[in-house]
Chains A and B, each alone.
Chain A
Amino acid sequence: MKDLVISQKRLKSELFIWTFSFAIAFLLNIYAILKYNNSWLELLTQLHIVLILSLVIYFIFVLIRLLFWPTKFLKNNGPKS
């Protein structure tokens, strides 16, 4: 079986996208606490929900990137004029 090699560059970019997703989820929690007047303690107590939400957002990004992948692939590997 062939080893799957993830380049450092790819790893960094994926980590960056997930951190970005986590930040969005965290900000959404802050917005929700302000909107519904809930306790600020929820910034800590609801971290598990924020984490799950960040993964959902991350996978949405993955889907979007997959949609653009054929175009990018063709652009890089298509017939050269």
Chain B
Amino acid sequence: MEESFLISRREFLKKISVIAGSTVALASMPWMKVFNEKVYAKSVNDKVRLGFIGIGDRGSALLKNVQVFEKILNVEIAAICDNYEPNYQRAIKFTNGKAKPFYDYRELLALKDLDGVIIATPLTEHCHITLDALDAGLSVFCEKSMARTLDDSKRMYDEHLRTKRILQIGHQRVFSPIYLEAIEKINKGEIGQITHMRGYWHRNGDWRRPVPKGHPELDRVINWRLYNDLSAGLFTELLSHQLQVANWIKQSFPTSVIANGSLIYWKKNREVYDHIACLFSYPDQSQFMYDSINSNKHYGCEEQIIGSKGTMELELNKVYSENPPAPPAILKLINDMEKDVFDTIPIGGASWVPETAVVDKGNYITNNYKMDETKLQLEAFVRYIRNGQAPEELPIQGYYSTVWSLLAEESAKTKERVTLMDKYRI
């Protein structure tokens, strides 16, 4: 596993050195510069000691990703914490009992020689744990979204500024080789002026996780995503990812949002919407149209970047030109002859042809997509810790994607167009 990690990483770093040499590219992704740096404040001989708080599904995935490069990057998973017994036991098993286990995160924060913490708890726990960790002088990697409320999100960001500690929010797409290459192509004008964006995330499932029999009190702990006071549901769990991408592509943040939500399919034991639709406006008057549903998975997940010269489908790693190269003349001739022979001859009927989608297989945005973005974002976190600082653009991206996701929820609830209040601007 380490070997394949090293090979794909080497290829990726080659690409990064090109990015780091380009002022234009670096302006859109300053967080990548750290991969090209050779000198660090904290020596590479000094271990970076991390603590994990919250080892549920996502926390476990993050922990396993760090384990892949633990030796290579001289990292130590020093402590783990979860107050839910099955997760606590599982974390001990994952770390072979080497990491110090805790039920209470405050005890973990009190450990000496810890450099940073990785927080993957339910949404409402993010704020107070992050504040305590920053206060304890630690660097923080916190899973998205930042917090359940605008006030908590702002408090987290302000505390990061006050303590001058690193705060990174888990938006892994900003480290994805596909997205990095896409941004480079966009900067070069390959798809022209970006006039519109569409995003969606469709799943077919109730989002409910099994609760141990005889413990109904654990339902809200395990299924926190389904309750309004604990989560904004699709807004904070899915939209925030893709909204971050839209903001990154536009290099700006929305000016207003109008959204709608409904609970029409999974009505039982659920408070958050199972269908949402949003329309974000940007300063250049372009729009980002978004919807997320829980009753059909046919269209899956995608961000479509629509420009005057082309279209990108980022999840599919595809780029399509508005004027794709003409097919070879001989093939076109054969096609036309086939049509003439086999097509039916219309007699009367509609006098127009429906403008169906252009059939074009397009090209791949990049072939260098083997490197996993979740690993890269965690590697970057380790490198930022060594550096003693991280680019401010990262927490800003995290902050605004959370804030605008929460504002979209507000718009859906109030049925009004919502803008950002000045006190939440950073």
Contacts and interface: CB of A to CB of B under 8 A. Distances in A.
Decide whether A and B assemble into one complex: yes
Interface of A: 28-29, 31-33, 35-36, 38, 42, 45-46, 49-50, 53
Contacts of A46: 328-331
B336 to A, nearest CB: 9
Contacts of A33: 329-330
Most interface-central of B328, B329, B331, B332 (chain A CB within 10 A): B329
15 contacts: A28-B333, A29-B329, A32-B330, A32-B332, A35-B329, A36-B326, A36-B332, A38-B328, A38-B329, A42-B328, A42-B329, A42-B330, A45-B328, A49-B330, A53-B334
Interface string B292-330: 000000000000000000000000000000000010111
Contacts of A28: 330, 333
A58 B332 CA distance: 21
Count class of interface residues, chain B = under 10
Interface of B: 326, 328-334
A-B pairs, 7 with minimum CB distance: A32-B329, A32-B333, A38-B329, A36-B329, A33-B329, A29-B330, A46-B328
A53 B329 CA distance: 13
A49 B333 CA distance: 12
A38 B333 contact: no
Nearest to A34: B329
B333 to A, nearest CB: 4
Contacts of B334: 53
Given A36-B332, A46-B329, A49-B331, 18 more contacts: A28-B333, A29-B330, A32-B329, A32-B332, A33-B330, A35-B329, A35-B333, A36-B326, A36-B333, A38-B326, A38-B328, A38-B329, A42-B329, A42-B330, A45-B328, A46-B328, A49-B328, A53-B334
A53 B330 CA distance: 10
Contacts of B329: 29, 32-33, 35-36, 38, 42, 46
B425 to A, nearest CB: 54
Contacts of B332: 32, 36
A53 B333 CA distance: 12
Most interface-central of B326, B328, B331, B333 (chain A CB within 10 A): B328
A50 to B, nearest CB: 7
A31 B329 CA distance: 9
A51 to B, nearest CB: 11
A31 B337 CA distance: 13
A13 to B, nearest CB: 27
Nearest to A46: B328
A38 B332 CA distance: 10
Contacts of B330: 28-29, 32-33, 42, 46, 49-50, 53
A4 B333 CA distance: 39
Contacts of B328: 38, 42, 45-46, 49
Most interface-central of A32, A42, A45 (chain B CB within 10 A): A32
A49 B328 CA distance: 9
